[in-house]
Amino acid sequence: MKTIRIISLIISLIFVMSCDRSGIFEEFQNSTPWEFHVQVFSDDNMTQPVTDVVVNIYKTSQDRDNNINIFLTRNTNADGKAVFTLKDFEPGLDAEKSKGIYYLKAAKGNLVKNETTRYLLMNDGQTHHNIVLK
């Protein structure tokens, strides 16, 4: 019985060690680039997007509150979205330098809304932040 267990263990180890792992790195190299989507709505149900809202991103809450040192800015499109890429945040594409919390201001006419992002990891894919401006 002990011999069967040892043989089974050896066969299992051979199978595990002989697995092809060559595709792992290619999968990471072809990953989806990171984007930060800020979408602005005029209703609590988030069904009415608002166009031409100025979305400013600041690095500190003091800058946002005093409306100085705007880090990034975009206007929302027909879907109410302002899209920022990793290259916007960090031209060298070093996500480690850009990770953190950012401060947002959405403004259209006399309507203004201040928000704070979650901690942005700058991982692959899209991070979304919704704002209700009313």
Range of lowest pLDDT (77-81, 92-96, 103-107, 126-130): 92-96
pLDDT value at 77 more than 90? yes
Locate the domains of the chain by residue range: 32-132
| Domain 32-132 superfamily per CATH | Immunoglobulins (2.60.40.10)
The CA distance from 18 to 120, in Å, is 38
Q: How confident is the model at residue 18 (pLDDT cuts 50, 70, 90)?
A: low
Closest alpha carbon to 105 in 66, 78, 79: 66
Range of lowest pLDDT (90-99, 104-113, 121-130): 90-99
Determine the average pLDDT of the residues in 18-42: 69
Q: How confident is the model at residue 13 (pLDDT cuts 50, 70, 90)?
A: low
pLDDT value at 33 more than 90? no
pLDDT at position 97 is: 83
